[in-house]
Amino acid sequence: MEWTSEMTIMMADGVRETLFMTLLSTLFGYLLGLPMGVALAVTDKNGIRPNAVVYKILDVTANVVRSVPFLILLILIMPLTKLLVGRSYGTAATVVPLTVAAAPFIGRMIESSLGEVDHGVIEAAQSMGASTMTIIIRVLLVEARTSILVGVTIALGTILGYSAMAGIVGGGGLGDIAMRYGYYRYEKEIMFVAVILLVVLVQIFQTIGMKMSVKLDRRHR
Amino acid sequence: MAGMIEVRNLSKTFVTKDANVEALQDINLSIQTGDIYGIIGMSGAGKSTLVRCLNFLERPTEGTVEIEGRDLSKLSEWELRAQRAQIAMIFQHFNLLMQKNVIDNICFPLLYAGGRKSTMSKEDARKRARELLEIVGLKEKERAYPSQLSGGQKQRVAIARALAANPKILLCDEATSALDPQTTQSILQLLKQINRDYGITIVIITHEMSVVREICSHVAIIGDGRLVEQGRVADIFSHPKTKEAKELIVKGRGEERRTLESHQKDMMKGKCCIRIVFSVNSSFEPVIANMVLRFGQPINILRADTKNVEGIARGEMILSLPDDLQMQREMKAYLTERGLAVEEVDGYGMD
């Protein structure tokens, strides 16, 4: 098989589309998942403002959304996607189901990161008369910073994986290329190149994420 | 005059799945302005719960806590937060923000605590934080992170942070329990100085009698969730009434001896020290006194004790000899001639 310049352009487009979907979905995922995770951590029975009702509602929501397989979710929420983006297919349209799938997963990671914060530090802030909001912003999120960044790295990798299924709704991206050429047309070389590019992207996210979290950690120097 | 802290009929019960745990029962305390008040008890006695009731980190099940005549249970949530800013607290494990440097840790209560948004500018907060660092003797550590500091330094930062909002009361929850004896001493001296210079009332929770003896004016002894004895430290030490008080004082003697020994070890560094053991018959002659007269040199007695070895009482002494080597040899020979066992010791030959 001859490697043509069209293929190079196709791969470049694939990388661009994959990055677009992954980064945008992660961003929106955190816009929803961060408050959700904070609310889970705070209303937990060992949290700073226990609230069994709120906790249970968020807890069940997170579990339900996370139980639905991504492909099913993608089709299930098509009406919502159409409402938000104007159409239910294409790269931009894929961001909606990706965000919905990512948010509860991100919420759980935030909940777990905040749960790791030393209770003594929270108690110290309470003893100074700090409000719940102050403790969330100035203590919990600050002390959990490293763990949250590790979470972002994991989220990016996972969402990038989900985005490969976007081909179903004409979402494009490297995953789509790999499926169309490798799975449907047996053009293995193109599939390999696409997969290798995916691996490289994950590797880059992972490396940058871990470097940043270590650099920003003040605990051991 | 009403006290700074008045605790009346306070009880605290924790409800768990299996049973109700009565952590505190019917506690009455009156702590006056400027007191250094020790609350001592064995671990599990309920003293940590009691100190948390003083700033309502734990709400008492029954009874009241009044700070300068204000009943904490009657305060609204933000009034309580403002009140807490007046009641600083330090902890056994320091509880500093690990991701913030020293100066930002101290600025925290100035900028964010006390309920409402602080009116203090960041520059003013930093200026105040620097003054506090000077007080606790850590001026040069402004930019360090807690993980780069020793335990004693961390506690000093915590004390500076506690003092930032000009509190009237400082609660210390086992504040020296994670520190070695020397560091404990220096932290206690710092607390004493703070009490003297700023008139801050200090409440100290501890399980170590030596801490109470060192700096407290008053002490309350907690045993099994009840207050068993309270009063001036001097009175309790000379006339302990209850079993708990007596036990703690006896335990305290051991601690004190260890502190004393560690002081002695410092004194023995670089000195020639010997241990001599008297058997029964050697105590007729005043050996040490005669030796001092004979050589005309003063001898420092670092420790004298009797030990029961296999049913026979033996006297033991640790002496620090003059620096002159010739003199040292002659003195050792003098003691050996008189039938004493002489052994050279360094700082660790004392246990």
Are residues B306 and B227 located together in one domain of the fold?
Answer: no
What is the distance between the alpha carbons of residues A64 and A104, in angstroms, rounded to a whole number? 9
Q: What is the pLDDT of residue B140?
A: 92
As a whole number, the mean pLDDT across chain A is 92
pLDDT digits (tens, 9 = 90+) for A103-161: 999 999 999 999 999 999 999 999 999 999 999 999 999 999 999 999 999 999 999 98
Distance from CA of B47 to the nearest CA of A (A): 17
The order of strands in the sheet holding B5-15 is B20-31, B5-15, B62-67, B70-71
Residues B61 and B198 in one domain: yes
Residues in A closer than 8 angstroms to B109, CB to CB, are 128
Outline where DSSP puts E strands in chain B.
Answer: 5-15, 20-31, 36-40, 62-67, 70-71, 87-91, 169-173, 201-206, 218-223, 226-232, 272-278, 300-309, 312-321, 341-345
The alpha carbon of residue A139 is apart from the nearest alpha carbon of chain B, in Å, by 7
Query: In the numeric block, which tokens belong to residue A145?
Result: 């910073």
What's the structural domain count of chain B? 2
Residues B246-270, buried b or exposed e (16+ Cβ, 10 A)? Answer: eebbeebeebeeebebeebeeebee
What is the least distance, in Å, from the CA of A136 to any CA of chain B?
A: 12
By Cβ distance, the residue of A121, A129, A220 closest to B115 is A129
Q: Closest Cα partner for A25 from A148, A135, A159?
A: A159
Domain-located, residue B351? no
Contact across the interface for A127 and B80, Cβ inside 8 Å? no
* pLDDT attached to residue B350: 43
Claim to verify: residue B77 and residue B120 sit in the same structural domain: yes
Place of tokens 């001036």: B232
Tally Cβ neighbours within 10 Å of residue B60: 24
Helices (H) and strands (E) in chain A, counts: 11, 0
The pLDDT value recorded for residue A60 is 97
Q: What is the CATH number of the domain that holds B193?
A: 3.40.50.300
Same domain? B130 vs B227: yes
* ipTM for the assembly: 0.87
DSSP percent split of chain A into helix, strand, coil, nearest 5:
80, 0, 20
Joined tokens for residue B101: 């440097």
pLDDT of residue A15: 94
Asked if the structure places residue B33 within a domain, the reply is yes
The residue of B17, B80, B112 whose CB has the most chain A CBs within 10 angstroms, and thus the best one to mutate to test that interface, is: B112
Residue A64: phi, psi to the nearest 5?
-65, -50
Residue B295 touches chain A, beta carbons under 8 Å: no
Residue B339 lies in a domain: yes
Based on the domain organization, do B167 and B315 belong to the same domain?
no
Asked if residue B189 belongs to a domain, the reply is yes
CA A15 to chain centre: 18
* C-beta of residue B64 within 8 angstroms of C-beta of residue B9: yes
Residue whose entry in the numeric block shows the structure tokens 């397989």: A69
Q: Which of B48, B83, B95, B104 is the mutation pick for testing A, counting most A CBs within 10 A?
A: B95
Q: Are residues B132 and B250 in the same domain?
A: yes
Distance, CA of A97 to CA of A80 (rounded, Å): 9
CB A153 within 8 A of CB A209: yes
pLDDT higher than 80, residue A62: yes
Mark whether B228 and B288 lie in a shared domain.
Answer: no
Query: Do residues B160 and B209 both lie within one domain?
Result: yes
- B167 at interface of A, judged by CB pairs closer than 8 A: no
Structure tokens at B15: 């409800």
Residues of B in contact with A220 (CB under 8 A): 147
Residues on chain A touching B158 (C-beta within 8 angstroms): 124
- Name the residue range of residue B193's domain: 5-261
Question: Contact at 8 Å (CB) between A116 and A37?
Answer: no
Shortest Cα distance from B122 to chain A (angstroms)? Answer: 15
The answer to whether residue B337 sits within a structural domain is yes
Which CATH number fits the domain that encloses residue B329?
Answer: 3.30.70.260
Closest C-alpha among A13, A29, A3 to residue A176: A13
**Which region among A10-24, A137-151, A184-198, B83-97 has the lowest average model confidence (pLDDT)?**
A184-198
pLDDT of residue B290: 84
B264 vs B257: CA distance, rounded Å: 10
The amino acid sitting at B69 is: G
Please indicate, yes or no, if residue B95 is contained in any of the structural domains.
yes
Q: Domain-by-domain residue ranges, chain A? A: 5-214
What's the Cα-to-Cα distance from B319 to each of A133, B162, B299, B328, rounded to whole Å? 63, 45, 7, 11
A45 touches chain B (CB under 8 A): no
CA distance B280 to A207: 76
Shortest Cα–Cα distance, A39 to chain B (Å): 20
Separation between Cα atoms, residue A31 and residue A69, nearest integer Å: 22
A139–B57 C-beta distance less than 8 A: no
Domain A5-214 falls in which CATH fold? MetI-like fold (1.10.3720)
What is the pLDDT, as a whole number, of residue B349? 42
Q: Helices B122-135 and B151-163 sit at what angle, rounded to 10 degrees?
A: 130
Whether B336 and B307 have beta carbons less than 8 Å apart is answered as no
* pLDDT per position as a tens digit, A66-103: 999 998 998 899 999 999 999 888 888 999 999 999 99
Query: CB-based contact (8 Å) between A116 and chain B?
Result: no
Interface contact A145, partner B, CB < 8 A? yes
For residues B185 and B160, state if they share a domain.
yes
CA dihedral of B85, B82, B53, B93, whole degrees rounded to 10 = -30
For B99, the closest of A124, A128, A218 (CB atoms) is A218
CA nearest to A125 within chain B: B113
Interface check B83 vs A, CB under 8 A = yes
Q: Residue-wise pLDDT tens for chain B (351 aa)?
A: 568 999 999 999 998 888 888 899 999 999 999 999 999 988 888 899 999 999 999 999 999 999 999 999 999 988 999 999 899 999 999 999 999 999 999 999 999 876 555 678 899 999 999 999 999 999 999 999 999 999 999 999 999 999 998 999 999 999 999 999 889 999 999 999 999 999 999 999 999 888 998 899 999 999 889 999 999 998 888 888 888 888 887 777 666 666 666 666 666 667 788 888 776 555 567 778 888 888 888 888 887 776 655 556 667 788 888 888 888 888 888 888 877 778 777 654 444
Q: Tokens 């004896």, residue?
A: B181
Q: Does B98 sit within 8 Å of A127, measured CB to CB?
A: no
Whether B54 is in a domain gets the answer: yes
Please give, rounded to a whole number of angstroms, the shortest distance from the CA of A68 to a CA of chain B: 35
The predicted model scores a pTM of 0.80
- Is B350 part of any domain? no
Residues of chain A found within 8 Å of residue B84, distances taken between Cβ atoms: 126-129
DSSP code, position A167: G
Q: Is residue B19 located within the same domain as residue B143?
A: yes
* B77 lies in the same domain as B152: yes
